[in-house]
């Protein structure tokens, strides 16, 4: 007979739902469906040959597991009945929970069923230690769930790994699995292979603490025509040497350098040079200082130009390490200084930054906004600090005269209106403005808008009255026009008989009324 096939998941073996049918040669008959077993997976098939074996499997999705000491198989016997089988499945807990800090004791690892009330215990994983006073076990409870364990193991501490000379460490903690990293202070270098230590499972630190050694510099390059002090075979971090040149030579560069944090010198080795500047000749000038040489490093000379000449450059120069005057020697020019202003104009940008202009140099101006010139405005340097008169001038942009506003006026009234001038319009009594209240002269020489009109104020025909009329009767009534009402015969006028056209285009009052007279009595209707 072929045995049931099984495979392992974790520490437990699971039987596959297999039915093994083994034909028996020469045997007749068959068995019907196998008996149903509580809490097992269903078995398909209505008939099975004699000698065939069926394997049951518990419904683990519902929390049922096979009882280890009980058989899981039945066989179709020669008399076409099934062999006997005991109760197979029992309710149990799933395998115990997996804990990060603990692992099951070996006795429970191979168990494949965990019944209610069973207690299993753990031990701490490598790198963890027991927490005193806590339980290291869990129990399969009546509802077939595991009790919640206390955290009975904690990470093992390796203690402080130790400080190092001339360095420092970086770490988050000193627990199992942590790493501390060392680095050397500025001016020191690490001579150890590893710059870290790891906290291991047994509570010890890996490696040994690294070491830091001071940076070393080799001697600087020899100074030609000079020397340095002190002289040593090697120099430690921040040790310095000082250079000096032979008599008559000047040191070019840093006179003192030191061994830096990366093992190099803070500056290159200087050089020794002969520094001698030529006699500074500036035509048409006099010297205010530095009258005679020799001119060596940092010798200074100050100049002044003779009368009416302009100095182009600095009036003071110094002899530098390259035996040159710095800044370059000035020159005394027969020219002009900053040009004078032009009324309502400004110097063009090309010339605005210059302070000195040579003789015959020509400069250009632009008119300010709102002004214009008939031609370009220029000036020429005549020499001896004198400028020519402007070739042209800037005049204000003007707008056309306004003229007469019929029925109104404007302010101010001028012979000429220039850029940005503003006039305000008003209408006479009996007239009403149609259009803008003011206008401004623009940079283009036109007014911002058309001028308004002053139109005569008019009234529509006055209202008619019953049993009466008014005179005069016209199509249009102008401001201050009046009309007079009169009643028809047999009627008396009540109210003012005249009304007037006023400045808002309405009549001054409501019209009067006419009342009829009958045998010397008034009729009130």
CATH topology of domain 167-214: Complement Module; domain 1 (2.10.70)
Residue 7 has pLDDT above 60, yes or no: no
Average pLDDT of the segment spanning 483-499: 94
Using only C-alpha atoms, the chain has a radius of gyration, in whole angstroms, of: 60
Confidence of residue 61 (pLDDT cuts 50, 70, 90): confident
Distance CA 324, CA 280 (A): 10
pLDDT of residue 352: 84
Task: State the Cα–Cα distance between residues 324 and 144, nearest whole angstrom.
Answer: 100
Residues of the chain with CATH 2.10.70.10: 1-91, 102-155, 167-214, 216-273, 285-333, 335-396, 398-456, 458-522
What would the CATH number be for the domain defined by 216-273? 2.10.70.10
Torsion of CA 179, 185, 188, 189, to 10 degrees: 20
**Predicted local confidence at residue 28, as pLDDT:** 59
CA separation for the pair 314, 305 (Å, rounded): 11
CA distance 114 to 262: 67
Q: Sorting pLDDT into bands at 50, 70 and 90, what band is 374?
A: confident
**pLDDT higher than threshold 60 for residue 88:** yes
Mean pLDDT of all residues in the chain?
Answer: 88
CB atoms < 10 A from the CB of 156, how many?
20
Residue located via tokens 């050694």: 213
Backbone angles phi, psi at 110, to 5 degrees: -90, -5
335-396 CATH choice from 2.10.70.10, 1.10.10.10, 3.30.70.1350, 1.20.1250.20:
2.10.70.10
pLDDT of residue 17: 32
Asked if pLDDT for residue 112 goes beyond 90, the answer is no
Q: In 3D, which of 417, 425, 479 has the Cα closest to residue 450?
A: 425
pLDDT in tens, 236-250: 999 999 999 999 899
Q: Residue 135: pLDDT above 60?
A: yes
- Report, as an integer, the average pLDDT of 415-436: 92
- What whole-number distance in Å separates Cα of residue 523 and Cα of residue 421? 68
What number does CATH give the domain 458-522? 2.10.70.10
CATH code for the structural domain at 1-91: 2.10.70.10
pLDDT score of 522: 52
With a cut of 50, say whether residue 100 has pLDDT above it: yes
Closest CA to 310 of 287, 288, 284: 284
Distance CA 58, CA 306 (A): 122
Q: Which residue has the higher pLDDT, 25 or 453?
A: 453
pLDDT the model gives residue 69 = 82
pLDDT band for position 15 (cuts 50, 70, 90): very low
In words, the CATH class of domain 285-333 is mainly beta
* Predicted local distance difference test score (pLDDT) of residue 19: 35
Cα angle, residue 151 at apex, residues 150 and 153 outer, rounded to 5°: 135
Q: Is pLDDT at 41 greater than 70 in this prediction?
A: yes
Q: Is the pLDDT of residue 337 over 90?
A: no
What is the per-residue pLDDT for 521? 53
Predicted confidence (pLDDT) per residue in 166-199, tens digit: 999 999 999 999 999 999 999 999 999 999 999 9
Count CB atoms within 10 A of the CB of residue 272: 19
Give the predicted TM-score (pTM) of the model: 0.41
Per-residue pLDDT at 202 exceeds 50: yes
| CA 331 – CA 305 distance, rounded (Å) | 8
Is 92 in contact with 113 (CB distance < 8 Å)? yes
Q: State the DSSP code for 61.
A: G
HSE toward the beta carbon, residue 470, CA cutoff 13 A: 21
Q: CATH number of 398-456: 3.40.50.2000, 2.10.70.10, 2.60.40.10, 2.30.30.230?
A: 2.10.70.10
> What is the per-residue pLDDT for 259?
94
Lowest-confidence region among 252-261, 410-419, 452-461, 513-522 = 513-522
pLDDT tops 50 at residue 525: no
Write the DSSP string, 316-340: EEEE-TTS-EES---EEESEE-SPP
Per-residue confidence band for 204, with pLDDT thresholds at 50, 70 and 90: very high
Tell me which of 143 and 20 has the higher pLDDT.
Answer: 143
DSSP for 450-486?
A: PPPEEEEPEEPPPPP-TTEEEE---S-EETT-EEEEE
**Can you read off the two tokens belonging to residue 315?**
């009036």
Give residue-wise pLDDT tens across range 271-324: 999 999 999 999 999 999 999 989 999 999 999 999 889 999 999 999 999 999
The CATH number of 102-155 is 2.10.70.10
Q: Is the pLDDT of residue 3 over 90?
A: no
């Amino acid at each position: 007979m072929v045995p049931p096939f099984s495979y392992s998941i974790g520490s437990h073996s699971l039987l596959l739902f297999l039915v093994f049918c083994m034909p028996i040669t020469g045997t007749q008959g068959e068995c019907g469906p196998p008996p149903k077993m509580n809490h097992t997976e269903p078995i398909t098939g209505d008939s099975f040959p004699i000698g065939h074996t069926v394997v049951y499997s518990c419904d683990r999705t519902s929390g049922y597991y096979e009882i280890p000491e009980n058989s899981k198989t039945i066989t179709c016997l020669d008399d076409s009945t099934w062999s006997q089988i005991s109760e197979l499945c029992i309710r149990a807990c799933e395998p115990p929970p997996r804990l990060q800090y603990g692992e099951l004791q070996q006795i429970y690892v191979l168990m494949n069923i965990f019944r209610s009330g069973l207690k299993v215990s753990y031990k701490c994983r490598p790198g963890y230690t027991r927490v005193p006073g806590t339980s290291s076990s869990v129990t399969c409870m009546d509802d077939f769930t595991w009790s919640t364990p206390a955290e009975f193991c904690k990470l093992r501490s390796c203690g402080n790994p130790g400080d190092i000379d001339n360095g420092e460490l970086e770490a988050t903690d000193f627990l199992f699995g942590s790493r501390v990293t060392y680095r050397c202070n500025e001016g020191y270098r690490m001579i150890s292979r590893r710059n870290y230590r790891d906290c291991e499972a047994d509570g010890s630190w890996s490696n040994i603490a690294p070491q830091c050694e001071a940076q070393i510099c080799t001697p600087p390059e020899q100074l030609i025509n000079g020397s340095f002090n002190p002289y040593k075979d090697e120099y430690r971090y921040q040790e310095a040497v000082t250079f000096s040149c032979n008599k008559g030579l000047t040191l070019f560069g840093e006179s003192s350098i030191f061994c830096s944090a990366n093992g190099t010198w803070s500056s290159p080795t200087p050089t020794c040079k002969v520094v001698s500047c030529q006699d500074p000749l500036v035509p048409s000038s006099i010297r205010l200082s530095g009258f005679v040489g020799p001119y060596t490093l940092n010798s200074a000379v100050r100049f002044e130009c003779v009368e009416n000449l302009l100095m182009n450059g600095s009036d003071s120069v110094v002899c530098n390490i390259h035996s040159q005057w710095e800044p370059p020697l000035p020159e005394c020019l027969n020219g002009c200084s900053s040009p004078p202003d032009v009324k309502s104009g400004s110097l063009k940008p090309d010339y605005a930054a210059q302070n000195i202009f040579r003789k015959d140099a020509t400069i250009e101006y632009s008119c300010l906004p709102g002004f214009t010139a008939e031609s370009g405005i220029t000036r020429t340097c005549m020499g001896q600090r004198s400028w020519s008169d402007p070739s042209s001038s800037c005049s204000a942009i003007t707008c056309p005269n306004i003229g007469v506003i019929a029925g109104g006026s404007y302010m101010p009234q001028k012979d000429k209106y220039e850029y940005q001038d503003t006039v305000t319009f008003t209408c006479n009594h009996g007239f009403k403005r149609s259009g803008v209240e003011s206008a401004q002269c623009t940079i283009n020489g036109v007014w911002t808008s058309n001028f308004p009109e002053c139109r005569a104020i008019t009234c529509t025909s006055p209202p008619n009255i019953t049993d009466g009329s008014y005179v005069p009767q016209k199509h249009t009534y102008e401001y201050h026009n009046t009309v007079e009402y009169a009643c028809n015969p047999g009627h008396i006028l009540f109210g003012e008989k005249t009304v007037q056209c006023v400045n808002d285009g309405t009549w001054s009052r409501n019209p009067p009324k006419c009342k009829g007279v009958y045998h010397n009595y008034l009729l009130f209707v």
